[in-house]
Structure 1
Amino acid sequence: MPVENRLIPAQASRLLSGTTLALMLALGQVPASAQSRELPDFSELVDRVGPAVVNIRTAEKVKVPEGQAELNEQMQEFFRRFGIPVPNQRRGAPRGGGTPDDDGPLRRGVGSGFILSADGYVLTNAHVVQGADEVIVTLTDKRELKAKLIGADQRSDVAVVKIEATALPVVKVGDSNASKVGEWVMAIGSPFGLENTVTAGIISAKQRDTGDLLPLIQTDVAINPGNSGGPLVNMRGEVIGINSQIYSQNGGYMGISFAIPIADAIRVADELRAGGRVVRGYLGVLPDDITKEIAEAIGLGKAQGAVIRSVVAGSPAEKAGVEGGDVVTHVDGKVVDKAADLRRLVASVK
């Protein structure tokens, strides 16, 4: 008995549309609207956010020990006597120990930042401005302004600097807690000093524990030296993080980048602007994660919490009766899943 192949109208329509799309893809004739659903266009976001992103250059005076300076001079004289070429030295270079205020060797650095307020408060990483004797902020209109360090918090790697200017473009701060794994994000910064460089990717993970005080946002956005301190921006043009570090085995980008959630960064920035430093709680313990074996040994249903390895003498923990071997499962009603949670929750206590 012959078998009759039939397609109902809806099936036929879908088949034809799919075939048409395949042909258009092959011929490169896919409508722009269809392409935009697959690959986002970041040009509008760059126009909107870019003017509020700045380049940060730093200079740190390097003091040359007196003995080392004398040795260098002796070596140079030795080379001259035997006709060995000696590199030209800068006139006025210091002889003997120390470095004068306007001369001497400098250690230079480059990073990024973004403007929080129209009167010149700029957010960046603490490691960008750490130890700097001079901080220069370059705006997108090429103005170069000296910046004053308002405060830097090493534990969160957040810093605030201030430039004297008005009516500056500012970023829009988003909700990093609402960001989702898989969504598109964009970074703007100065990798290797290349100002206003734009790269893009997706959020790979959230709440990534890297051993730092704050859990970080992981992305695959290309980040390189000089990007530090720049903004991580979502598709609504909102800053949701500060690009701060990468995972690398060779010092360059390897597809894993990390950003400080903007919700945490703003809290730190507000304290720095108010008092120049961040005040945190202190317990005085050395915590460790609870392994499955420890959990079974002490009768916990699962490996959750932090076990106290040691207690600092005279610390608040010792005064409260905390001892080595104690297990902490909650702080102020909040669950402690691992040792890092205990450190963060205690630090958040004022």
Structure 2
Amino acid sequence: MNFELSDEARMLQDGLRRYLADAYARPLREPSDTVWAGLAEMGVIGALFPEEAGGFGGTGWDIALVFEELGRVGSPEPLLDTGVLSGGLVAAAGGDVEAVIAGGTRLAFAHGEPGGRYDPTRVDTRVEDGRLTGRKAVVAHATSADELLVSAREGEALTLWRVDPDAVEMHDYPMTGGGFAADIVLNDTPGERLGEGDATEAIVQAQARATLALCAEALGLMERIRALTTDYLKTRKQFGRPIGTFQVLQHRMADLLIEIEQARSAVVNLAGNVDGPDRDRHVAATKNLIGEVARLVAEEAIQMHGGIGMTDEYELSHLVRRLTMVDHRFGDTLYHLERFIRLAVA
């Protein structure tokens, strides 16, 4: 397997890194219309879709490249939800994603339900005669979405429906890592059917690719946190010399570097297998490892920074919050450990 970036991928990476460095010269805690428009203009959203859907990428490598760069700046933009998750489902159903790729339409996927415990097939929301009734929990970026994509049971089949956000009862709240989420109540709410047949496999595949995006974002967050910590150890002085010269802190940083490189290997492995036959086992292994390493990186960075690492004005606190919340989406470390064991012995 060739791990070298193609010339096109390298150009995308370099251009995206420069753009994000300028756009986030001052860290942003909430999504920005200006940044979103810039990402669309650069073609970043199109890199998440294959050519047949109107994009120019769509592979696991493209997803990992884009989201690692977004993670490096702690970007709160809803690119995962609109592009990889919702947009991927629309494309899989043969729908038109041109407006999504152009940045003109933002989507939010309302799928998880109270008590669902990360199971992508546990859906109690029902649909009858094109009208939906049920509850959805923690719908990321629902308040800023132009359109909701809602999963519901029609008989025994799991189906997808387009729903107007103004037609639902929405209770929004801020997310720890930035942006807003909402709990949604559907009460005989009208919807438009997306695609034909059962959508279970399409949803599982979209969540697998979204998990890759989330893991790549976590990797970018880890790299930025590592850089901040290294700089701090070089400038913070104790007993007349930089604390980075103390051997015990050097050993801790060395351990951190090894763990981050292991996380990178896991993301690379998942990028190459996210569309393969052994997808679920690779997703479980990667998400479990990323959760463990993310917790270690967050705790070590805060400890080595001391009190300043906890202040809201310092960039590290925002990055650590986003990194910590990675473990709570699409299944935490324990969920994926158990899932990996089940798949390994099946």
Measured against the shorter chain, the TM-score band is: under 0.3
Higher strand share: 1
> RCO higher in 1 or 2 (8 Å CA, sep ≥ 6)?
2
Structure with max Cα Rg? 1
Q: TM-score, normalised by structure 2?
A: 0.21
TM-score for both structures, normalised by structure 1: 0.21
